[in-house]
Structure 1
Amino acid sequence: MTTQAGPDRATMEPSVGARPAELGLRERKKLRTRRALRMAAIRLVAERGLDGVSVDEIAAAAEVSTRTFFNYFPTKDDALVGIDPEDIREITEALAARPADEDPLAAVRAVMLQRAELIAPEQADLWRARLAIIRRHPHLMTASAASWSSYENALAEAVGRRCGLDPARDPYPAVLVAAALAIVRILSVRWQESPGAPLVDLLSQAFDSLARGLPPPPGASPA
């Protein structure tokens, strides 16, 4: 499944919120370090521009060494965009842990809403800054789209396992995931640009509409 590059692809990255309690101390430390590097990169680039910030400066702002930076990200661009493999694994595991008899769309909905519930309103500022950075640099749009494509493919594989379907042969898992992530992408961008109602509420309403077959909303009329 391919993902089209575009300015909206820097949306609802899964690397937010709490982590499973079973993670060990080393894993929690690594996750905190990765998150600190991402936040430092976004903040510095938002202030100075992409060319005005070095990897050394990002590492220093996160209070780690430059060598440590490269243990997490191969380039400065990677610190700004992309979805971490750990986060993709966590979401696919959460999907696999849903009740076996649960409808696939309901399972995906539940996992996405659980993630959204962990997002604090003040995180919109950080997301908005990253979105602005990516929109200014086409090569970052491409990198972000590639990362989301990997995310979609992993979710489609997970949905396929739940349904007993091979995504390479049956389009259902890929179509379901594409529809679900379109909701996440569009509404998270709107939430970033104009925070109001909690993101989880916006997503819940949209997933409910999708489950009903996307009927026109009340008040809509034919052209």
Structure 2
Amino acid sequence: MTSVSRRLTAQKGLAGFTIEELCDEVGVSRRTFFNYFRTKEDAVIGADPEADSQVFAGQFMARESRGWPVVIDDLLELVIQHFGALEGTVHEHADFFAALDREPRLLQRFIGMSKERERQMTALVAERESVPADDPRAQAVVHILFGLLRSAGDRVHTLAGPHDFASILTDSLSAARLVMADPTPRKAHP
């Protein structure tokens, strides 16, 4: 249902089709639609953020704390698993980005969801690592992860043909680690 709603939104915009038309094309009842989604916008975004967050949190907390250097590895591995479960065809990804381009309010909603997930993930990291939620290390790990996700998303969006999100993401993390591994001495400012 998500792939069809993305395609229809990319082609016609959200106002260009009804939930009934979407249900007819997919072959489900209106009731079935509302068992999974509250709105057409939810169908386009395609996730139940509450359920996804609970599953992700459970998986992350089940991993033993092994110190700050590996927190990002744990998060990255779980994110790759999550996105791997959502992997679609190149056309489905293109339809998603086309739908976001066509409907700026979807992009705003997606960004808002990302900010909330970022806040939740910071609290989760802090809890697992037994530090306050405002600990700069918990914030840094999550900011780095979301920066990598945005960068990988941009690369996937601009690449033509098949792509490997996991490789792009892990390569980006390797590059970030390389850049941060060799600190350059700082000059004192007058």
TM-score by length of 2: 0.80
Question: In structure 2, how many angstroms separate the alpha carbons of the residues matched to 1:82 and 1:181?
Answer: 19
Partners of 2:2 and 2:46 within 8 A in 1: no
Unaligned runs of 5+ residues in structure 2 are 183-190
Which residue in the other structure is 1:140 paired with? Answer: 106
Partners of 1:113 and 1:200 within 8 A in 2: yes
User: What is the correspondence of 1:38-187 to structure 2 with a 5 Å cutoff?
Assistant: 38-81=2-45, 83-84=47-48, 85-101=50-66, 103-118=70-85, 120=87, 123-167=89-133, 169-187=134-152
C-alpha displacement at 1:175, in angstroms?
2.7
> Which residue among 165, 177, 189 is the counterpart of 1:211?
177
Question: In structure 2, how many angstroms separate the alpha carbons of the residues matched to 1:96 and 1:130?
Answer: 31
Q: 1:136 to 1:51 in 2, by over 3 A?
A: same
C-alpha displacement at 1:180, in angstroms?
0.5
- Residue type matched to 1:79 in 2? A
Partners of 1:134 and 1:140 within 8 A in 2: yes
User: 1:87-136, CA deviations, whole angstroms, 9 ceiling, x for partnerless residues?
Assistant: 2222222222223225212211222233355565x523212211111122
Question: In structure 2, how many angstroms separate the alpha carbons of the residues matched to 1:119 and 1:189?
Answer: 17
Question: After TM superposition, what 4+ stretches of structure 1 lie above 6 angstroms from structure 2?
Answer: none
2:151 corresponds to 1:189: no
Question: In structure 1, how many angstroms separate the alpha carbons of the residues matched to 2:138 and 2:100?
Answer: 29
Larger radius of gyration: 2
C-alpha displacement at 1:186, in angstroms?
1.7
Question: In structure 1, how many angstroms separate the alpha carbons of the residues matched to 2:47 and 2:181?
Answer: 32
Alpha-carbon RMSD across the aligned residues, in angstroms, is 2.4
Q: How many residues align?
A: 178
**Which structure exhibits the higher relative contact order, with contacts defined as CA atoms closer than 8 Å and separated by 6 or more residues?**
1
Question: In structure 2, how many angstroms separate the alpha carbons of the residues matched to 1:76 and 1:83?
Answer: 12
**Secondary structure at 1:166's aligned position in 2?**
coil
C-alpha displacement at 1:196, in angstroms?
5.1
198-207 vs 90-99, which moves further: 90-99
Question: In structure 1, how many angstroms separate the alpha carbons of the residues matched to 2:23 and 2:139?
Answer: 38
Which residue in the other structure is 1:6 paired with? Answer: none
Question: In structure 2, how many angstroms separate the alpha carbons of the residues matched to 1:93 and 1:208?
Answer: 26
